Amino acid sequence: MSATKTHMRREIEEIPEATARLLDGSGAVLTEAGRGIRERDPHFIVTVARGSSDHAATFMKYAVELTAGLAVASVGPSIASIYGAKLRLAGSACLAISQSGKSPDIVAMAQAAKAGGSLTVAITNTADSPLARVSDYAIDILAGPELSVAATKTFVNSAVAGLALMAHSTGDDKLLAALARLPEHFRKAIACDWMAMAGALETPRSLFILGRGPSSAFANEAALKFKETCAMHAEAYSAAEVMHGPLALVGPGFPVLALAARDASEPSVAEAADALAGKGAAVFVTSDKAKSALSLPHVATGHPLTDPLTLIVSFYGFVEAFARHRGLDPDLPPNLRKVTETV
């Protein structure tokens, strides 16, 4: 690999600026859309997304259920595009997330949701996209062009936009203040060095990535990025569920990354990390509460919903560096392309 920075590395370093640009440049429409949701007073929320965007939607599921008291369900885009089913969504709000805003199945499901009585909000990095045009509100995440196949700044901005939308709809001033502080926290998160994990990943064929609550969404995102950029298998699990069936795969030296945020789940994630370390696994955890697992540097944000975001930013920095360490180009994963338009 050349000493020149990869697109992925440059885009990771752009995350603080991109987040600040989103909160400033799309602040008005986030406020307006939040007000629209509040006036609709939905009984439930549905999300429509695929891939990394679906991980952002899963994060929003936890955030909304924990703070707004609304149940959130993910709707498969193929329900509309392939099966042509009509859902009764009166009294709901629909959050559709797509970086390109062009995938036909996402657009079709957003249209179907609107026809079924849902208030639709698009979160996209393409202001004049088909998804934006068919939705009641369109949030431009303003991440700027993303050239690396592996999404980083667009994922983070999608998740931040979702949190800001929720904060405006519920009048959560503490969350809005925490979001405003994120650019500085992201700068610190980028500087966290997780290459201490590299040695444990030299020979194994798989990696477990754990989370719980909101951080479980980022465990899924991290596993996807690890597969995309490092040509190695990774699988995400709840820190509670890993102690059941998946435990059969864990033996001496088996690598495990546990993403613990500063929220109510941190003690249980640290406990699971220590239990796996006790079985000989090579366990790394973003917590100081673990006794046997190795603690990785991490950035606390002072808010339980923004804390998981700094963890994925630190992971992005690691996975880009580890891919290059393996002699791979993280910008050009084999068999993949930047935009996938699913029917």
Residues making up the chain, counted from first to last: 343
Q: Residue 99 carries which DSSP code?
A: S
pLDDT of residue 245: 66
CA–CA separation, 163 vs 272, rounded Å? 28
pLDDT in tens, the chain (343 residues): 445 899 999 999 999 999 999 999 999 999 999 999 999 999 999 999 999 999 999 999 999 999 999 999 999 988 888 898 889 999 999 999 999 999 999 999 999 999 999 999 999 999 999 999 999 999 999 999 999 989 999 999 999 999 999 999 999 999 999 999 999 999 999 999 999 999 999 887 899 999 999 999 999 999 999 999 998 999 999 998 877 666 666 789 999 999 999 999 999 999 999 999 999 999 999 999 999 999 999 999 999 999 999 999 999 999 999 999 999 999 987 755 555 555 5
Identify the CA nearest to 225 among candidates 13, 51, 18, 47: 51
The DSSP H or E segment spanning 21 is helix 15-25
* Local structure of 343: helix, strand or coil: coil
CA distance 6 to 14: 13
Nearest to 22 by CA among 300, 219, 309: 309
Class of domain 190-326: alpha beta
Helix (H), strand (E) counts: the chain:
13, 10
Query: Which residue intervals of the chain bear CATH 3.40.50.10490?
Result: 7-171, 190-326
pLDDT value for 342: 59
Tell me what pLDDT residue 3 has.
Answer: 59
What pLDDT, on a 0 to 100 scale, did the predictor assign at position 289? Answer: 97
Nearest to 311 by CA among 201, 224, 188: 188
Question: What is the model's pLDDT at position 186?
Answer: 98
180 contacts: CB under 8 Å, gap ≥ 6: 23
Tell which residue, 85, 120, 87, 80, has the closest CA to residue 103: 80
CATH superfamily of 7-171: Glucose-6-phosphate isomerase like protein; domain 1 (3.40.50.10490)
